[in-house]
Chains A and B, each alone.
Chain A
Amino acid sequence: MMRKRTKYGRYALNVFAGLGLVYLFAPIFFIVAFSFNKPKGNFNIAWQSFTFDNWLHPFAEESLTRALWKSIEIAAVSTFIATILGSLIAVALSRYKFRGSGGINLFLVLPLTTPEIVLGSSLATLFLGQNFIDFGMTTIIIAHVMFQVSFVALTVRARIRGFDWTLEQAAQDLGASPLRTFMKVTFPLILPGILAAGLLAFALSIDDFIITFFNSGPVQTFPLQIYGASRVRIPPQINVLASMILFLSVAILMTATIAGMRKSAEKQATAKKFKLLHRK
């Protein structure tokens, strides 16, 4: 009786989990599937027939391609700035105890908890209030750096929580100046955390709509372009480019995971070797 019930329970759980996955992946599946569609008219929303044409000409929609490059450009610049600033904040917060570190912690969490519409509109108001800056690339980058810094700082801080700071003492003890200590010891050791934070920041920038919408001026980023165009036409190239972004992120994620798995496997192997040696 007990056994039967457990069996049914497991069965139900699997079905439930399967439904959850379908719910999560169905939209993504449709995006990819419709990139192979040959639509009738302007809207790629009903399945007509299969074609490779869209993938053979992914950059056929010039305005869309331009917007994508703009987005990548913005993401690259803002990620670069935010990763440096955020990593330095993270190192300072975990390395030193100083007055006001609690306040900085609060300010780091604020952009994560504040609704994007509030962040976006208040930044726009700020930029409107003075006249030495025009809406465009600069304002978008400033806006993106603003929220990316928080994500970077919190991610890096979480990754370096267990960092052994006596390593810095050891380096200085061996005659390394503070700069050399950072470049040769601290930085290489926290680099994986910084790279992870940078990837996250890049993805957030590419993806952002609301804050960008308020501060873009004449500049069209990829999300803004899709939104604007969707009222007139939805070309299949949207699906092609979106699928490309999707595959690229999955590829990056998988490389990172595989590298991590290999590393821990190596560690386990050496641990095993040690146990064997000790047994002898």
Chain B
Amino acid sequence: MGESVSDVIVLDHVSKRYGDFVAVHDANFSIATGEFFAMLGPSGCGKTTTLKMIAGFEQPTAGRVMLDGIDVSDVPPYKRNVNTVFQQYALFPHMSVFDNVAFGPRSKKVDESKIKTSVMEMLEIVRLNDFAQRKPSQLSGGQQQRVALARALVNYPSALLLDEPLAALDLKLREAMQIELKRIQREVGISFIFVTHDQGEALTMSDRIAVMSQGHVEQIGTPQEIYRSPASLFVAGFIGSANLLPGTVQSHDGADAVVALKAGSAIRVAGQASAHAIGAHVSVMLRPERLRPSEQADANGQSLQGTLTDLVFQGATARMIVRLADGTELTCLADSSARMPQIAVGATMNVSWGADCGYILAGWPEKAGSNTTDIDHIESTL
């Protein structure tokens, strides 16, 4: 593992069990200073438990948690230089906004005159300086969220932990707060570690993402890496939507691999021969937005033929559902401004893609064809 001086947090083979249940299995990664790091996964994947181990509310059953190069595995939360923004904010209802924010410095016995300036400074950063004397119950959800942020950041922690901080906000406010969070993070330059189950949120906000599932860290990488080259079928299905086509590696052609799909035809995937042996069970991932509808089949074997079963105009894009001969359904997200072939629902058509658009993953998916966890897309097709 590449530990470096600039790493704020290092999880050194950290595991957490509750009896027989493994909540986190061998988490082993580090987070750099000033990084916006997301832990992403469905509920129960262990992301919150990992966050609690960093904060100190849970102790790892194996491995070490390092903060600023020091093992803090047995250090209680009130002696760790990290702060948390809780999911429901957990603002102290009997204190004013000012007293809430001043709680941390006062616990550390900072001079009261210094507290006043740093609290007001922080309230300015979150744009709440006019609300210092209000009680939390007199604030809106978004304002409470910003108080929680200020209350944590005023301590100048080594890292800020955020537990699903946007989950309690409605959609519009959530989008505004995403931008706001990013701005504040740039302004204070502190590492943000952000737990979310919303892949869109993770993709837009973070420098790096750790995708987790059932206690395992499936992949760590930049949003681009994770989106373009997911490490597993789970990651491919969880991040964005993906068409997953099961098949077998038929042959290697230079750097390219030729995959015989269960759906019938064989397709060529560029540059992935070395990673997958001939005869291996694999899936070819095709992102819906990389698929192009066409009337004719592609000459290079980069196309599939099927029946158009659904066509939904979505403004900038048009969503097409194409059913292949074996019943597998593909989703194709076409640019609606481009000249589209005149195809009616029920007609036979082709979908094709560029040579470098396919990506091979080991194993066969539970469900062949279109996979998606993207809630917005599901909602828009309802």
Q: A-side interface residues toward B, CB under 8 Å?
A: 164, 166-167, 169-178, 180-181, 184-185, 188-189, 267, 270, 274
Given the known interface contacts A169-B86, A189-B93, the answer about A176 and B107 at a Cβ–Cβ threshold of 8 Å is yes
Contacts of B93 in A (CB 8 A): 189
A175 adjacent to B137 (CB under 8 Å) = no
Tell me if B108 and A170 are in contact (CB < 8 A). no
- Our pick among A184, A189, A267, A270 for the contact of B103 (Cβ within 8 Å) is A184
With beta carbons under 8 angstroms apart, the residue of B56, B86, B107 that contacts A166 is B86
Contacts of A175 in B (CB 8 A): 78-79, 104, 107-108, 155
Whether B90 is near chain A, meaning CB under 8 Å from some CB there, is: yes
* CA gap between A169 and B84 in the complex, in Å: 9
Judged by DSSP, the binding face of A is helix
Given contacts A175-B107, A176-B78, A180-B107, contact A189 B94 (CB under 8 A): yes
Residue in B closest to A171 when the chains form the complex, CB atoms: B103
**Does B92 belong to the interface (CB within 8 Å)?**
yes
Alpha-carbon gap, A267 to B151, bound state (A): 24
Pairs A–B under 8 Å by Cβ, sample size 7: A166-B86, A169-B86, A173-B56, A174-B83, A174-B155, A176-B103, A270-B138
Alpha-carbon gap, A278 to B144, bound state (A) = 16
Query: What's the Cα separation between A184 and B137 when bound, in Å?
Result: 18
Known A169-B77, A171-B103; judge A188-B94 contact (CB<8 A).
yes
Chain A residues with Cβ below 8 Å from B327 are: none
- Nearest to B76 among chain A residues (CB) is A172
**Separation of A84 and B140 alpha carbons in the complex (Å):** 37
Which residues of the partner chain A approach B91 to less than 8 Å between Cβ atoms?
170
Chain A residue contacts of B56, Cβ below 8 A: 173
Residues facing A in B146-197 (CB within 8 A) are 151-152, 155
Closest residue to A173 on the B side, CB-wise?
B84
Measured CB to CB, the closest approach of chain B to A130, in angstroms, equals 44
B232 in the interface, Cβ–Cβ < 8 Å? no
Given contacts A170-B92, A175-B78, A267 and B137 within 8 Å (CB-CB): yes
Indicate whether B313 reaches chain A with its CB closer than 8 angstroms. no
* CB pair A167 B92 closer than 8 Å: yes
Tell me which residues across on chain A come within 8 A of B103, comparing CB atoms: 171, 174, 176, 184
Instruction: Output the least CB separation between A140 and chain B (Å).
Output: 37
A222 to B250, CA, bound (A): 99
User: Contacts of A180 on B, CB cut-off 8 Å?
Assistant: 107
CB distance from B165 to the nearest CB of A (A): 13
Q: Which of A166, A173, A274 contacts B78 (CB 8 A)?
A: A173
Nearest chain B residue, comparing its CB with the CB of A270 = B138
CA distance A189 to B151 in the complex (A): 19
- In the complex, which residues of chain B have a beta carbon less than 8 angstroms from the beta carbon of A171? 92, 103, 107
Taking a contact as CB atoms under 8 Å apart, the answer to whether A185 and B92 are in contact is yes
Question: What per-residue 1/0 map shows which CB atoms of B55-92 lie under 8 Å from chain A?
Answer: 11100000000000000000011110011101010111
CA distance A24 to B22 in the complex (A): 62
Docked Cα-Cα span, A189 to B94, in Å, equals 7
Task: Select from chain B the residue with minimum beta-carbon distance to A164.
Answer: B90
Contacts of B82 in A (CB 8 A): 173
The residues in B between 92 and 112 inclusive whose CB is less than 8 angstroms from any CB of A are 92-94, 103-104, 107-108
Instruction: Give the docked Cα–Cα distance between A173 and B152 (Å).
Output: 9
Complex Cα distance, B260 from A186, in Å, reads 65
Kindly list chain B residues whose C-beta atoms are within 8 Å of the C-beta of A177.
78, 107
Residues of A near B152 (CB, < 8 A) are: 173-174
Residues of B within 8 A of A185 (CB): 92
The listed residue with most A CB atoms (<10 A of its CB), out of B76, B90, B152, B155, is B90
Question: Are A170 and B84 touching (Cβ within 8 A)?
Answer: yes
Query: A174 to chain B: which residues have CB within 8 Å?
Result: 78, 83, 103-104, 107, 151-152, 155
Question: Is A170 touching B155 in the complex (CB atoms < 8 A)?
Answer: no
- Within the assembled complex, what's the spacing in Å between the Cα atoms of A270 and B139? 9
Residues of B within 8 A of A188 (CB): 94
Asked whether B90 lies within 8 Å of A270 as measured between CB atoms, the reply is no
Smallest Cβ-Cβ distance to B99: which chain A residue: A184
Instruction: Quote the shortest CB–CB distance from A205 to chain B (angstroms).
Output: 30
Distance to closest chain A CB from B118 (angstroms): 14
Whose C-beta in chain A lies nearest to the C-beta of B93? A189
In the bound complex, CA of A178 to CA of B93 (Å): 19
Complex formed: what's the CA distance from A211 to B78 in Å? Answer: 47
CA distance A146 to B138 in the complex (A): 42
B151 near A164 (CB under 8 angstroms)? no
A-side contacts of B86, CB under 8 Å: 166, 169-170
Nearest Cβ on chain B to A224's Cβ, whole angstroms? 42
* Residues of A close to B55: CB separation below 8 A: 173
- How far does the Cβ of B104 sit from chain A's closest Cβ, in whole Å? 4
Query: Does B137 lie within 8 Å of A166, measured CB to CB?
Result: no
Least CB distance from A275 to B in Å reads 11
> Shortest Cβ distance from A33 into chain B, in angstroms?
45
Separation of A274 and B86 alpha carbons in the complex (Å):
24
User: Which B residues touch A164, using CB under 8 A?
Assistant: 88, 90
Chain A residues contacting B138 (CB-CB under 8 Å) are 270
Smallest CB gap from A178: residue in B: B78
